[in-house]
Amino acid sequence: MRVAAAVVAVAALAACAGHGGEAAPTMETALSAVPLRRTGGQVVDVQLARRQPPTGVCDPLTGATVRIRDGQLTVTVPDAAPTLPSGTERIVPFTAASYVATTGGQATAWLDRTLAVGPEDDVAAFVGVDLDRTSPVAAARAVTRIVRVLDEADVYAAVLGGPAGAPDPPDGDAVWTARGMTPDGHVVTVTAGANGPVQTTTAVAPDPCAYRE
């Protein structure tokens, strides 16, 4: 499994969020906690509370430092420990890691002060990232290049989309695109593959939700 040096796993995401660390969360650390979908077509919405401006935010993040939405999976670093639902505990063989399977095929995991809620398969994959058994989104070569641009621009909210096919084929050049909002009201659009140039545009956006269009 290829895991880029940028990958810092779930524990570091919580640490950067203020639980035992000093650095603020980044797009890079957030995407290091979300499993990469090998089937492709992945769309991830990321928000960082510490970067968002006090007003004029499309979907203000409160009660958590980081929120990541990937389809039906939501990963957050809440300000306070949540009350976990009742259900069946699933323990990962040969580890101390577990999650709670609830009704309707849903599940919840609470690992390293990071909460994951969604379909059981997605939550199990999230646990796999924490155990270094599943590749995170940040490990994809194109994503590694894109998040550098987003973090340099201080983007606080972004939507990242991958290709319809394999997200990071070893012999291919899968293209990913991200649109993010900066605190001063600019939309940054970044497109990159594993190789070749990184294409970036920046435009003033009166609508704070413009990055989601």
Q: Which domain holds residue 69?
A: 9-212
- Looking at the domain assignment, is residue 4 inside a domain? no
- Residues 6+ away with beta carbon under 8 Å from 40: 162, 163, 164, 165, 166, 167
pTM value? 0.88
Domain count, the chain: 1
- Looking at the domain assignment, is residue 167 inside a domain? yes
Query: Model confidence over 153-181: pLDDT tens digits?
Result: 999 999 999 999 999 998 889 999 999 99
- Looking at the domain assignment, is residue 161 inside a domain? yes
- Looking at the domain assignment, is residue 63 inside a domain? yes
Q: Is the pLDDT of residue 136 over 80?
A: yes
| Percent of the chain scoring above 90 in pLDDT | 81
- Looking at the domain assignment, is residue 129 inside a domain? yes
Q: What angle do CA 113, 107, 116 make, to 5 degrees?
A: 30
- Cβ atoms within 10 Å of 130's Cβ, excluding its own: 23
- Looking at the domain assignment, is residue 2 inside a domain? no
DSSP codes, 25-37: P-HHHHHTTSB--
Query: Model confidence over 3-50: pLDDT tens digits?
Result: 333 334 555 566 565 555 557 899 999 999 999 999 999 999 999 999
The two structure tokens encoding residue 73: 């999976």
pLDDT, position 130: 86
- Looking at the domain assignment, is residue 3 inside a domain? no
3-state SS, 150-202, equals: HHHCCCCEEEEECCCCCCCCCCCCCCEEEEEECCCCEEEEEEECCCCCCEEEE
